[in-house]
Amino acid sequence: MEMFILVAILLVAMFFMSSRTRKQQRAAAEFRNNLTVGTKVMTASGMIGTVVDVDEAADQVTIESVAGSQTTWLRAAISKQVEEPVADDADDEITTDESDVTAKGETGSTISPDATDVPDDLSSLDTAQSEYREQQRRDADADGK
């Protein structure tokens, strides 16, 4: 009986996962079938361009990435539509945060004095590791006494 319940739960989970995948695939296929000239798209390889021609018979799309540079792609290679960023007037304003401004006489550094120093290379790693092992030995000796 327990085995039947386990199998039933697994089958239900597989059904829900596959139905969601099919829904996503249907939406992607519908997007590709409804491509129109002038739509800004991105291919699966990451190329971004504007659709300039759609060949229904050959199932191909011609994309212009820069002025005059046109390439032909299979419709299946188009992954998504690229949305143009909307210019926000609030971004034009310059805002200052009081915590970023340092008073006269301070060092002018935004790094806190208790920040951990991370080396650019691994040369000091051996020293730190040997110091750590020595501390572990001292702690073990202190606990054993």
* 37 neighbors 54 (Cβ within 8 angstroms): yes
**105 in a structural domain:** no
pLDDT tens digits for 52-80? 999 989 989 999 988 888 999 999 899 88
**10 in a structural domain:** yes
The per-residue pLDDT for 106 is: 57
Continuous H helices in 1-145: 2-33, 89-92, 125-144
Domain CATH code at residue 67: 2.30.30.140
**19 in a structural domain:** yes
**66 in a structural domain:** yes
pTM of structure? 0.47
The per-residue pLDDT for 114 is: 67
> Which residues of the chain fall short of a pLDDT of 50?
none
Phi, psi dihedral angles at 83 (to 5 degrees): -90, 135
68 C-beta neighbours (distance < 10 Å), count? 6
Residue 51 structural domain: 2-81
**23 in a structural domain:** yes
**117 in a structural domain:** no
**47 in a structural domain:** yes
What's the total number of domains in the chain? 1
For residue 27, give both structure tokens.
Answer: 């939406």
Q: Which residues pair with 42 in a beta bridge?
A: 48, 80
Please choose, from the candidates 42, 71, 72, the residue with its C-alpha nearest in 3D space to the C-alpha of residue 55: 72
The per-residue pLDDT for 7 is: 92
**11 in a structural domain:** yes
